[in-house]
Structure 1
Amino acid sequence: MQCPKCADKSLEERLGPQGIIVDLCSACGGVWLDKGEIYHYVRYPQRLHDSMVKAYQDTAPGRRPCPRCQDLMTMARFPAPGPVVDVCAKCGGNWFDAGEVQAVQGMLDQQIRPEERARVAVPARAAAAGLAALPSLALRSGGVLLFLYGVLAAFSAVIVAYLGLPLDFIFIGSALALLASFILGPWLTDLSLGWLHSFRWSDPADLPAPLRGFINKACQERGIPFPRCGIIDDGNPNAFTYGHTPRNARLVLTRGLMDALEPEELEAVAAHELGHVVHWDMLVMTAAALVPMILYGIYKACMRRKRSSSGSRKGAGQIALIGLVALVLYYVTEYVVLFLSRVREFYADRFSGELTRQPNRLASALVKIAYGLAGKRRESREGEPLAQETLRALGVFDPVGALGLVAASLSRAGAPSKENILGAMQWDLWNPWAGYYELHSTHPLPAKRLEALGRQAAAYGQEPFVLFDERQPESYWDEFFVDLFYLWLPWLLAAAAVFSNHLSGIGGPQGWWGAAAGWGVGNLLRLWFKYGGGFCPDLNVCALLKKVKVSAVRGVPAALQGRIIGRGVPGFILSEDLVLQDQTGFILLDYRQPLALFQWLFAMRRAGRLIGQEVSVKGWYRRAPVPYLELRSLTAGGEESTCYSLEGQYLFTFLALAAGVVGMLGMF
């Protein structure tokens, strides 16, 4: 966006100390705030909203173009004793000159202007420092496998030594099952591709000549055979590889990928997939997956033996304890396997950059793939949810991460740009919740991959495609721990009630009724925190997505206007969620009711008819990690649909609290 005062100066995105992205002109010091963005800076937005509505009734023609929509802005006096500012009647944004920012600041609770800082020429700095070598992949993978099998061996030894439980059948059964999966997996994947997709095997001669030559040269250099190639005739841009070893690897590309990327970008994606082949990722991940599989088998066996056991209560308790420990270790090792998967994705990215000597090619390809995956999700009316889900873990990009990246970056423009991506990366790299969601993913956060590729390019003396060099203004861990506190508060109070009753000698059912009462009190406080602030100011998608301090627990009340462009899951008639787009971006609308039946009825009876209509919605903006608006109400064509999920949660909470109190009084 261009500065309306300087005309030839672009606005820069800076993050203020409140975790809100501000569009600032470094030349004149002016600030652009999108529609409703100013409400982020006050504790009670309704007071400011009422004052602004009254003050903005009297306007005069202006001469400055709106940075967002290019229409001429009008001039209006900010609520007294505020200055005269520029207001866009079309998009609702406000422009404040440097002096006007200072004049308005006294009326707000938080500072608007971010702190000035000096930037360093990162490419030159990175080139001088050189490219940091990644730890040995063999050592890291070997260390992870050693840890996994060490945990399994130690746990097995404890079981055999203290309980004498036979584990041979569990080990042998799990190993045989995984071995069969490893041996048959590639052929089963071949069959599933043919059944669920428009898939065909392709002769190398059918590939684009530059890509064929690149793959052939890379395979000769690395001493591996040319992989068997397949093409999926689908618009989703994606690529993946599978097989047993480098000797029989398959490389699959989609038609959407080949159409979306430039030849050099396509080569970079192919190099990434060849990195998985060269690094033996298929075999390593199979070996790693065996450990959690065995631990889960031990858990299931213990639970079955406990239920069928006719021995002493002590023996049954020991078996249950072993099963519980096995379940805990299953989750621990499962997260370790996911960590190993993310590590190997980073190494595949580095391999692509080293092979092509142009890391920017893969970075630009990843951005295009992200936009393509999200675009397919938005535009498709007839999708293949099951078919697409089968390829999610195999793909070069996680579609959920892609949607989060694109939604945040599109909030600043209608097309991908490096500035937009940098803005979108801030939540991924700074908010601790992003790391929490990454723990559950097979792929690293998109922002981390782009940052690593940018530093690799800078080390090669190249201008990075995107390089995140923003200085984090503050730590966001305090908000994260507050969020966790309220998220767990019901269970903490329930546990505290049980512990208190135990110390007081209160046992039996009366003690558990106390836990129900404690849970009810905690959940009331959690709901108050999660849904606090009843007033929903008018904002646009861009203003919402500039907020970094947001999570699934910490929401922002908001009202939006825009057009419904599709369902949350394209082509799925039971998808009650919708996607809204305004002139600044798009966002997922999360439709919730106390009972799933009412969600299905909305999906079948009204959701499809809303596509293409202009709507007004109210709710709470959240991010987990995809930005979404949890709906309170949706209005279209004079017909309003209200979500009663909040009332349902309050009703259940009050019932639990009342039952707990009555039970504690001995009335049950």
Structure 2
Amino acid sequence: MSLQVGLEALKQERFQEAVEILETFCRNSSDRASSDYLKAQMGLVKAYHRTGELEKAIALLQKLVQSENSQIREWAEKYRQALDNSKPANRATTAGVKLAMGGVGGSLAFASGVTITLLFGMVLALGLALVLIVGNDNPINGLLIAVPITLVFNLVAFFLSPLLMDMVQNWLYHTRWVDISELEVRSPETARILRRVCQQKNLKIPRLGIIQDQNPTAFTYGSLPNSARLVVSEGLFKYLDDDEVATVYAHELGHIVHWDFAVMTVASTLVQICYLIYTTFRSLGRGGNNKIKDAFQTAATTAYIFYIVGTYMVLYLSRTREYFADHFSAETTGNPNALSRALVKIAYGIVEEGSRTKEPSRLIEGTRALGIYDPKAASSAGTAYRIAADTQKVGRVFLWDMFNPWGWWMELNSTHPLTGKRVRALSTYAEQLGLAVEFDMGRIIGEGKTLNKSKLYGNFFLDVVLYGAETIGFIGGSIIGIILISNSQSNSVGLVLGSPLIGLGLGILIKAFVMFPDYSKAQPLDVLTLMSDPYASPLRGRPAKLKGELIGRGDAGSKFGSDMMIQDRTGLLYLHYSSRFGPIGNFLFGMKRVQSLIGSNIGATGWFRRGVAPWMDLIELKSDSGTIVNSYHRFWAMVLGSLLMIGGIITVIAVK
């Protein structure tokens, strides 16, 4: 290949192509002192630089500074100096270094994809089950019709999904489609990475979209790699630096390169078919002789179990694809620290923008499963970064992610890994590249090992028991009733009927007292302190007092939502209100009173809870203007539990 072709490719920013052509020219050149050979070497330096292969660029510059040609030496010295000055700190000099995942995320063979097709398919499967199977004289024929229709529907949806999603994006978010030259103005490094990766992987550059929303997010959708769309919000450029934006784009490119869409479509289709089979055999199990009926019921139960397991496998696939996309970004950019910062800054941006609006962003809520970050998990890391960009303070909120057993349970039901685990994996990649780790997860792990494991797991076990307190009480009451009847040789119907009611009522009351403990000695705290508690639970409330500004509602898109958001000097927290008049009271409170409270400085007393998203169950809210709002979370539990116990006692006494 000729020198001019290589230089033309370099000029047109086809850098990977330029590298291949110029390397071939240099290998085939017989005169290493010729001007053409030196021009090719200079072109290679530029091409290596623009493709991120800094190590090769530096090695070649070291040869050129020893050239006998004074002009070449001078050019090489200046270029090397400029390269040293422009090289970002704390990142690998060479992109593309293979990084070991060390078991993080499992196997990519089982892990990729998005859940949007599953949502469509599940709705269709349910509809087909109702129309073609349930009540059908010949359910097997119904199944034989329903399964092919499900397969065809998913196949059509697979190929049409990019167009359908484009329509949805334009309608809901007014997505603006841009070319790579415009993106290059916003983030030069991102444009370089897009060109380099797409050339290396023989892919078309994805269709690039920008949404005019200040909440930072990014997501990818499509069917085939060459029909993929890569969309980001304006907030990504607002809150992230150039190298951080580049790692986010590289993360999304990872989804495209790994072909997540196809794997997820197959997985979701299998889950849907399991549900169809379950519906069919459940219908067949309603008739026939007992032997056949039992066989069909067993088959239906098995199919339903497979459906539940399949659903959790899809969630697992969704989480694991994020780990692999993070890994791809770290390898491609050589900058895992920037992606760690990007994740935390995205959380910070979501929290920051949430503090400026009265309602959560429709974009963030609507693209939760697709986005690079779960907005429900933004409160903890975002709040820590909001008060101080101190990795130690940010790291402390990851203790819950890493060590609290509830973190594992919450993640099991989530489409995204917990942030602490993602940052930990990225830190190991930084160590492999010989970089200083910005989020010292080793220290966090060390601190986590000093936590009281008996308290952590003892509390978790207590929470699990507490979660089923009503069932345990009902069963326990029934057993006690049977034992009492056996010992007394009595056939009292009242004891049989009343004992379970007493047990159920007692279970409800015990659960209420543990979930909503005495708040008379609640301590004044701030949001960050609450979120940094590694022992926090979603069930056992921690009494606390907060002071801050009531900045808006907690429900996305709800004009009459009763939940609110408080902002103190350290961060944001949702306040969950409960009326003594139930849902009607909540609706009336949201409609009539919340709007007038927004913007007020308030004091809030309640029970803090921590899940993927932390919140406080409100007890009392006092505004500086003297307005007092009381919330009654344990009211109905107390009433119902007491009535059941009283009813049970009366039944035992009155019914013989």
Report if TM-score (shorter chain) is over 0.5. yes
- 1:298-313 matches, within 5 Å, as 298-303=277-282, 309=286, 311=288
Tell me which moved more, 193-202 or 173-182.
Answer: 173-182
More displaced 10-residue stretch of structure 1: 512-521 or 578-587: 512-521
- The CA distance in 1 between the partners of 2:112 and 2:330, in whole Å, is 25
Q: 2:150 aligns with which of 169, 174, 198?
A: 174
Counterpart of 1:551, as a letter, is: S
Pairing of 1:522-561 with structure 2 (within 5 A): 522-541=507-526, 542-561=528-547
Q: Show the counterpart of 2:638.
A: 650
- Which is worse superposed, 614-623 or 290-299? 290-299
SS in 2 for 1:550: coil
Name which of 190, 214, 217 aligns with 1:235: 214
Structure (1/2) with the larger strand percentage:
1
Deviation at 1:164, TM superposition (A): 10
Paired with 1:383 and 1:452, the residues of 2 have a C-alpha distance of 30
Q: Please report how far the alpha carbon of residue 176 of structure 1 lies from its aligned counterpart in structure 2 after TM superposition.
A: 2.6
Q: What SS does the aligned partner of 2:197 have?
A: helix
Deviations 1:87-144 (A, max 9, x none): xxxxxxxxxxxxxxxxxxxxxxxxxxxxxxxxxxxx9xxxxxx954445999652599
Quick one: distance in 2 between partners of 1:367 and 1:136?
A: 20
Mapped partners of 2:299, 2:100: distance in 1: 44
State the partner residue of 2:422. Answer: 449
Can you list the C-alpha shifts for 1:613-650, whole angstroms capped at 9, x where unaligned? 11122111111232221111111222211112211111
Aligned partner letter, 1:623? R
**1:214 Cα shift?**
2.1
The reply on whether 1:568 has 2:554 as its aligned counterpart is yes
Q: Secondary structure at the match of 1:241?
A: strand
Contact 2:565 2:573 (8 Å CA) reproduced: yes
Give me the whole-angstrom Cα distance separating, in 2, the residues matched to 1:433 and 1:589: 21
Instruction: Work out whether 1:625 is the aligned partner of 2:612.
Output: yes
Could you say which residue in structure 2 is the equivalent of 1:360?
A: 337
**TM-score of the superposed pair, with normalisation by structure 1:** 0.71
Letter in structure 2 aligned against 1:538: Q
Q: 1:517 aligns with which of 499, 502, 505?
A: 502
Could you tell me how far 1:454 is from its partner in structure 2?
A: 1.3
**1:422 matched to which residue of 2?**
395
Alignment of 1:598 with 2:585, yes or no, is: yes
Q: Is the 8 A contact 1:517 1:661 kept in 2?
A: yes
Kindly indicate whether residue 355 of structure 2 is the aligned counterpart of residue 378 of structure 1: yes
Q: Which has the higher mean CA deviation after the structures are superposed, 165-174 or 623-632?
A: 165-174
* Residues 510 and 666, structure 1, Cα contact 8 Å, conserved in 2: no
Distance of aligned partners of 1:557 and 1:221 in 2 relative to their CA distance in 1, 3 Å threshold: same
* Cα separation, 2, equivalents of 1:300 and 1:529: 40
Match of 1:607 among 594, 607, 617: 594
Please say if residues 252 and 325 of structure 2, whose CA atoms lie closer than 8 Å, have aligned partners that are also in contact.
yes
Q: Paired residue for 2:225?
A: 246
TM-aligned CA distance change 1:498 to 1:304, over 3 Å: farther
The answer to whether the Cα contact below 8 Å between 1:590 and 1:630 also exists between their aligned partners in 2 is yes
The residue that corresponds to 1:28 in the other structure is none
Residue 458 (structure 1) aligns with: 431
* Of 257-266 and 488-497, the range deviating more from structure 2: 488-497
The question of 1:481 aligning with 2:428 is answered no
Over 3 Å counting, the alpha-carbon distance change for 1:539 and 1:499 in structure 2 is same
Aligned partner (choices 182, 200, 206) of residue 182 of structure 2? 206
Q: 1:193 is matched with which residue?
A: 169
Q: Which of 410, 424, 431 does residue 437 from structure 1 map onto?
A: 410
**Are the structure 2 counterparts of residues 266 and 654 from structure 1 closer, same or farther at C-alpha, using a change threshold of 3 Å?**
same
Residue 554 of structure 1 deviates from its aligned partner by 1.7
What is the letter of the counterpart of residue 368 of structure 2? R
Deviation at 1:371, TM superposition (A): 0.9
Secondary structure class of the residue paired with 1:565: strand
Provide the C-alpha distance between the structure 2 equivalents of 1:238 and 1:143, rounded to a whole number of angstroms: 22
* Secondary structure class of the residue paired with 1:557: strand
Q: Is the 8 A contact 2:198 2:204 kept in 1?
A: yes
2:503 maps to amino acid: G
The residue number in structure 2 matching 1:141 is: 109
Partner of 1:396: 372
Q: Cα gap change, 1:133/1:438 in structure 2, threshold over 3 Å: closer, same or farther?
A: closer
> Residue in 1 aligned with 2:247?
268
Tell me: CA distance 1:467–1:512, structure 2 relative to 1, closer, same or farther (3 Å): farther
The 1:314/1:659 distance shift into structure 2, 3 A limit, reads: farther
> Counterparts of 1:277 and 1:507 in 2: how far apart (Å)?
68
- Kept in 2: contact 1:517–1:656 (CA 8 A): yes
- Distance between the aligned counterparts of 1:137 and 1:485, measured in 2? 30
CA contact (8 A) 2:154 2:265 kept: yes
Contact conserved, 1:455 with 1:467, CA < 8 A, in 2? no
The one-letter code of the counterpart of 1:266 is V
Contact 1:378 1:570 in 2 (8 A): no
Q: Report the Cα offset of residue 523 of structure 1.
A: 1.7
Superposed, which structure 2 residues align to 1:38-53 within 5 Å? none
Give secondary structure in 1 for the equivalent of 2:634. Answer: helix
Contact 1:536 1:618 (8 Å CA) reproduced:
no
Match of 1:156 in 2: none
Contact preservation (8 Å) 1:563, 1:581 = yes
- Partner residue of 1:494 out of 458, 474, 479: 474
- Paired with 2:468 and 2:370, the residues of 1 have a C-alpha distance of 34
1:187-225: per-residue Cα shift (whole Å, max 9, x none)? 211110011112122222322242223201111112222
**CA–CA distance in 2 between the matches of 1:467 and 1:288?**
37
Which one-letter code corresponds to 1:433 in the other structure?
Answer: W
Specify the alignment match of 2:317 in structure 1. Answer: 340
Cα-Cα RMSD = 3.0
Once the two structures are superposed, the pairs formed by residues 59-70 of structure 1 within 5 Å of their partners are none
C-alpha distance 539-477 of structure 1, shift in aligned 2 (>3 A): same
**Per-residue deviation at 1:500?**
6.2
Mark the CA change 1:467 to 1:625 in structure 2 (over 3 Å): closer, same or farther. Answer: same
The alpha carbon displacement at 1:283 in A equals 0.8
Which amino acid is the alignment partner of residue 616 of structure 2? L
Task: Check conservation: 1:401, 1:446, Cα contact below 8 A.
Answer: yes
Instruction: Specify the structure having the higher radius of gyration (Cα).
Output: 2
**Could you tell me how far apart the structure 1 residues matched to 2:641 and 2:361 are?**
39
Letter in 2 for 1:552: P
Q: Distance in 1 between matches of 2:572 and 2:104?
A: 42
Q: Does 1:278 align with 2:266?
A: no
* 1:579 equivalenced with 2:555 (yes/no): no
Task: Give the aligned partner of residue 116 of structure 2.
Answer: none
Q: In structure 2, what is the equivalent of residue 98 of structure 1?
A: none
- For 2:550 and 2:313, the matched residues in 1 are separated by 40
| CA shift in 2, pair 1:536/1:179, >3 Å | farther
Code of the aligned partner of 1:516: L
TM-score, normalization by structure 2: 0.73
The answer to whether the 8 A contact 1:559-1:618 is kept is yes
The equivalent of 1:330 in structure 2 is 307
Separation of aligned partners in 1, 2:336 and 2:621: 45
Residues in 1 aligned to 2:492 and 2:317: alpha-carbon distance in whole angstroms: 46
SS in 1 for 2:369: coil
CA drift at 1:319: 4.3
CA distance in 2, matches of 1:509, 1:311: 38
The verdict on how the C-alpha distance between 1:511 and 1:243 changes in structure 2, with shifts beyond 3 A counting, is farther
Q: How many residues align?
A: 517
Aligned partner letter, 1:486: L
Long gaps (5+) in structure 1: 1-122, 124-129, 146-162
C-alpha deviation, 1:275, in angstroms: 0.6
Question: Is 2:112–2:321's contact at 8 Å kept on the other side of the alignment?
Answer: no
Report the alpha carbon displacement of residue 518 of structure 1 after superposing the two structures with TM: 2.1
Question: Alpha-carbon deviations, 1:264-323, whole Å to 9, x = none?
Answer: 1111111101111111111111111122222222334445556xx554577556544543
User: In 2, Cα distance between the equivalents of 1:633 and 1:490?
Assistant: 27
Within the candidate set 194, 199, 222, 2:201 is matched to 222
The structure that is helix-richer by fraction is 2
